[in-house]
Amino acid sequence: MATLFKDVLITDGAREKARRVHMLVSKGRIAEIIDADKNPPSADKIISGHGKMAVIPGFVNAHTHAAMTLLRGLGEEAPLMEWLQNKIWPVEEKLTPEYIYWGTLSAMLEMLSTGTTCFADMYFEMDQVAEAVLSAGMRAAICRGITAGEPGKIEKSIQNNLDLAEKYHGREGLITVQLGPHAPYTVPLEYMKKICAEAKSHGLGVHFHFMETEGEKNNLGMSDEKYLEESGLLSAPYVALAHVVWLDTNINLPENFTLVHNPSSNLKLGSGVMPLHSWLEKDAHVALGTDGASSNNRLDMWEEMRSAALLHKGVNRDPLCVTAVEALRMATYEGARAFGFSQKGMLNEGWVADLVLINLDKPHYIGVNEENLAQYLVYAGSSADIEGTMINGKWIYKNCEFPTLDKEEIFQKAKEAREAITK
């Protein structure tokens, strides 16, 4: 089935200027983009934009823990370690596979309605996450959060993560699997070496929390540069480092590294502000993520995009720092690239049709045009402007409905899970 976006504005993180076009989506891909003053191609379905609708690539949430929607609001206003040890970990012990399934679906409703087409998830019972993703037709990069604990636990987690990769990596083009060592303070260095060696031998990426807080940096026992070498991370096929608020900006990161900036979570947990400006000056790859719903507390990538664009201007006292187009690129293409999804995150002919339809017929878009669309979206817009979210050329969210998901059932089951774990 072909869908024509007739007379819409399009932009992405590689365009300084938007274009007014007809865009044809067919067989899951962007088949044709032509100027809006030309005759539109024919299609089964037509979305008539009349120049008052915009299309951008779907957001890629490059670091989250989706099922933590069930833990939202628990342990507010506490520092990271206190929050984890006293508020989060004890409740997480009560999570069953079934709860994680419904908690993940609940997160997916939230992400889809705010324009996210793909999310990078680190948690446990990841088979449940994979099944939730496949049932919806959403895209995800998944890893088992690996932590040490009672004897044998970490070995089991590593094997579990490798089994996950065996079963789901590449499934239906919707899922990639990474290895997910949780953080330096939960995974001893000897196991990091083992995990990175496994990543290398299986051709898998690594998704890791690194240098989130100053305390973590002080307790590392070596420089962060030395840690990257010693742990074997530098030889992993590709690496996504979440948070990196305290990562030494003198380090030269390899091309296959992506830093995942989580502005809201870092602000809420009082972790500090990642020196994004320095990393962008060094041409480091930076993507954006929400982190879990209990440390943000939103799974709204539009919000992260806007926060990233504003925060660093203020911190650096530089209005040119992090442009709207840069923020859009970090929220879309950079996340897809970071987790091994090719031809996603930009609106190019032949690329995959993972995209978001935005209604510009609202008072805060008066004055929008091809020259300023990205700036209007990032600074004036919000996810409330989203009309639809398309993945692989199919609507997964449209006009407040989720064609592939049973919203009422998900609400009910997620509520029951929440009640059970907080009893």
DSSP 347: -
Alpha-carbon distance of 81 to 88, in angstroms, equals 10
Beta carbon nearer to Ni ion, 178 or 389:
178
Stretch that binds Ni ion, among 11-19, 142-150, 290-298, 315-323 (CB under 5 A): 290-298
Alpha-carbon distance of 333 to 411, in angstroms, equals 31
CB of 63 to Ni ion, least distance (A): 6
CB of 159 to Ni ion, least distance (A): 22
Q: Provide the 3-class DSSP secondary structure of residue 178.
A: strand
Distances from the Cα of 109 to the Cα of 66, 130, 262, angstroms: 11, 15, 20
Beta carbon nearer to Ni ion, 120 or 284:
120
Q: In the window 131-150, what residues touch Ni ion (CB under 5 A)?
A: none
Stretch that binds Ni ion, among 39-47, 278-286, 288-296, 409-417 (CB under 5 A): 288-296
Residue among 32, 121, 198, 291 that touches Ni ion (CB under 5 A)? 291
CB of 265 to Ni ion, least distance (A): 7
CB of 242 to Ni ion, least distance (A): 5
Beta carbon nearer to Ni ion, 67 or 386:
67
How crowded is residue 363: how many other Cβ atoms within 10 Å of its Cβ? 6
Stretch that binds Ni ion, among 155-163, 187-195, 286-294, 317-325 (CB under 5 A): 286-294
Alpha-carbon distance of 55 to 144, in angstroms, equals 33
Please tell me whether residue 224 binds Ni ion under the rule CB under 5 A: no
The tokens 């504003």 sit on which residue?
310
Dig out the tokens for 38 from the structure: 């030309």
CB of 291 to Ni ion, least distance (A): 5
Count of helices and strands (H, E) across the chain: 15, 16
Q: In the window 298-357, what residues touch Ni ion (CB under 5 A)?
A: none
CB of 271 to Ni ion, least distance (A): 11
Stretch that binds Ni ion, among 172-180, 231-239, 284-292, 355-363 (CB under 5 A): 284-292
Query: Which residues lie closer than 8 Å to 335 by C-beta, 6 or more apart?
Result: 59, 60, 61, 62, 118, 120, 258, 260, 287, 288, 289, 345
Query: Which residues lie closer than 8 Å to 301 by C-beta, 6 or more apart?
Result: 59, 60, 61, 111, 114, 115, 116, 288, 290, 331, 383
Q: Provide the 3-class DSSP secondary structure of residue 405.
A: coil
The tokens 């669309």 sit on which residue?
373
Stretch that binds Ni ion, among 82-90, 102-110, 291-299, 371-379 (CB under 5 A): 291-299
Beta carbon nearer to Ni ion, 80 or 322:
80
103 in Cβ contact with 132 (< 8 Å) = no
Nearest-CB residue to Ni ion?
A: 291
Dig out the tokens for 370 from the structure: 């091809």
Q: Provide the 3-class DSSP secondary structure of residue 202.
A: helix
Total interface residues for Ni ion by CB under 5 A: 1
DSSP 83: I
CB of 14 to Ni ion, least distance (A): 28
CB of 119 to Ni ion, least distance (A): 12
Beta carbon nearer to Ni ion, 291 or 304:
291
Sign of the Cα torsion 239, 240, 246, 252 reads: positive
Stretch that binds Ni ion, among 95-103, 142-150, 161-169, 283-291 (CB under 5 A): 283-291
Beta carbon nearer to Ni ion, 244 or 368:
244
Site residues (CB under 5 A) for Ni ion?
A: 291
